[in-house]
Structure 1
């Protein structure tokens, strides 16, 4: 009976994908038009408005970050509209919560795709992956908050920063330099199933090989809450450091269990593994002592005018909200989307091809946020630099920089396999 239910469920998903694909093909027939101002108009664009989509997680495992991401993006577009919009048009953001559920992601994309000129963000490797072929076939410019190499290769799909693997390589090389790891040592890696975990593990495996070390693996599900058995396995193997490519709640469990078991080793967290709210929990002191975050983006505490303005504006707009990495991620991806639309307007071409071409013409985008990115090569991430950040209650956003963005020799030579 259980096998039948699983098979029936799989068939149901397949049918849904097939119907969605048909819908996508139909929407691709929308003819480009020319506006009253002589600008070519594609789907989601009228003489007065530009629709921009956001597919986020407001109720699933990454809900705290998803809320911040969406609010950061909405803040950007609100400011753009207050300044007169883009190309004389009001930008209309449309947010959909998919709860980190593949079927809801498919439904959200199917609904919004004909209505938007671009997606300012789409969260999650697995959720984006469910419609990736459709985006690559005829979809709009889509900024993905997912760092799997599976996201590379299509002109329509743009990740920010670098891949999970490259971040982990930079992080392991940092641990070798600062914590005295050496050849023959073991490093642990607790990772969530799916592209996020798989690519992160590829990074730790590569870095370990370069240093003559080995990796002790522990795979978990996104729904797993207790990391006791995984940490116990790490302790029994005598690991000298642990990489975490999991959710923030799972990070809290792993670091807390390690402290309780007397396992005093450095923890290296992938960019989706941390939320500053954890500092107010019992595990907060252990995070400050032993945990660092590896991410391409500068933290909110960076001494940058653009970051300081963002923090001030966000707190004014959302006074009760927590400042975290999601705020910067949402605002930045929205700014990248906005800049693509502005460049396309200069060419009088707000068709999908016009917007994508404008975006892909930029080889040193910074936006004032301290992370220079090259969008011209669809087969490579826009950067290989990683910041090493430490949890800190006194720093804006709960993180402070302990190593500025850089790429180790191992990160530079790592071969990224697309698709």
Structure 2
């Protein structure tokens, strides 16, 4: 198995900053580096600092806007906090100027990327697996590190991307193991979107179901509310698996959980990371969700007690940001970026190409407890550093975002023993 050059996710942001930091600021240098200026950032805290520009293409108006918008807000808050506390090695970081909305449209995503590519050091946030795949040939040509804001296991094997967190595939393995070991499941159903996200999760769940010798049924569905989920709802009611896993968006989560429970289904639900939104607490499905649904995640929820969470909450309150668990993920990813920046400073490399090399050298970072131990290890073989742990949350109406930690950094036997030699879903 090959060792890939870089990973994906919010960590890419880290790489961006890393590159610039790596070289450190040299006021006597005439060399221009894409995405870095000696001039201050717009709205700079200290106008004597230069500016590092990070790019982001996300969904602010489409079906995944409940994920994209708060993730960007969390990332921007992180860097505002950094800038207000001196910046990084003579630079402040701007992740505002070159943020673009794709509406979760692949063509728009590609167009927006081309609009910003000459002005950024790193594409620190790129929401959508197929969307990001569509621009990778060009990002590699331009030596722009891309950070997918998605968790497909394919990113483990792609050069020129920096992934973060546990893949949908490994997360679904943990969901099955958790269902068997904690919920005594002997049969599991999986409702999923077709394609990169849903099939990556469903394939991981099927691997775990076979390993644990439990009955497994797949239900493929399309986006939409209760009307669009009628066929899946009826199949669940007919089959009645002990636990239903979900790899959809929050819209389908509310529709499926609410309707099946209302019609007498007595099993439990566990949803992949993208299936939850705090907005569900205001829906008709809220009582059913609180009674039957658990959320899997790659970071702990808003109220978790860690050094990183505590700092985040304090700053969020100071700027009037509302509690949101996607804000947490957007913020947390930046702790990886800071680690990358520090390593880049030591390597004295502040170019796009230098980011690739520096990130590949990281053997672990201190994320102040926001990610699991071992986060930020991008060295060695893929199977050695692939993340395998999952947070499990329960729903509680009185909590700030509706989520309360149930199990911290769970790693089931299937994911622990699985060898990642290729993506669970091949695009």
TM-score between the two structures when normalised by the length of structure 2: 0.84
Partner Cα separation in structure 1 for residue 381 and residue 334 of structure 2: 19
Secondary structure of residue in 1 paired with 2:70: helix
User: How many pairs align?
Assistant: 383
Equivalent residue for 1:409?
Answer: 413
Secondary structure of residue in 1 paired with 2:36: coil
> How has the CA–CA distance of structure 1 residues 131 and 315 changed in structure 2, closer, same or farther, with 3 Å as cutoff?
same
Equivalent residue for 2:360?
Answer: 360
> How has the CA–CA distance of structure 1 residues 224 and 286 changed in structure 2, closer, same or farther, with 3 Å as cutoff?
closer
Higher relative contact order (CA 8 A, sep 6+): 2
Partner Cα separation in structure 2 for residue 311 and residue 359 of structure 1: 28
Matched, 1:294 2:285: no
Matched, 1:112 2:116: yes
Secondary structure of residue in 2 paired with 1:114: helix
Does the CA contact (< 8 Å) of 1:227 and 1:257 recur in 2? no
**Offset, 1:65:** 1.9
> How has the CA–CA distance of structure 1 residues 354 and 213 changed in structure 2, closer, same or farther, with 3 Å as cutoff?
same
5+ residue gaps, structure 2, are 1-22, 39-49
> How has the CA–CA distance of structure 1 residues 364 and 39 changed in structure 2, closer, same or farther, with 3 Å as cutoff?
farther
TM-score between the two structures when normalised by the length of structure 1: 0.85
Equivalent residue for 2:9?
Answer: none
Of stretches 332-341 and 203-212 in structure 1, the one that deviates more from structure 2 is 332-341
> How has the CA–CA distance of structure 1 residues 153 and 70 changed in structure 2, closer, same or farther, with 3 Å as cutoff?
same
Secondary structure of residue in 1 paired with 2:414: helix
Partner Cα separation in structure 2 for residue 370 and residue 152 of structure 1: 17
Partner Cα separation in structure 1 for residue 257 and residue 199 of structure 2: 21
Does the CA contact (< 8 Å) of 1:38 and 1:348 recur in 2? no
> How has the CA–CA distance of structure 1 residues 345 and 41 changed in structure 2, closer, same or farther, with 3 Å as cutoff?
farther
> How has the CA–CA distance of structure 1 residues 200 and 38 changed in structure 2, closer, same or farther, with 3 Å as cutoff?
same
**Offset, 1:391:** 1.5
Secondary structure of residue in 2 paired with 1:142: strand
5+ residue gaps, structure 1, are 1-31
Partner Cα separation in structure 1 for residue 57 and residue 88 of structure 2: 22
Secondary structure of residue in 2 paired with 1:167: helix
Tell me which of 366, 376, 385 is aligned to 2:379: 376
Q: What stretches of structure 1 move > 4 A for 4+ residues in a row? A: 37-41
> For residues 1-400 of structure 1, what are the structure 2 equivalents within 5 Å?
35-37=26-28, 42-47=33-38, 48-93=50-95, 94-182=98-186, 185=187, 187-223=188-224, 226-319=228-321, 321=322, 323-368=323-368, 369-372=370-373, 373=375, 374-377=377-380, 379-380=382-383, 382-400=386-404
Two-structure CA RMSD over aligned residues (Å)? 2.3
Partner Cα separation in structure 1 for residue 417 and residue 141 of structure 2: 31
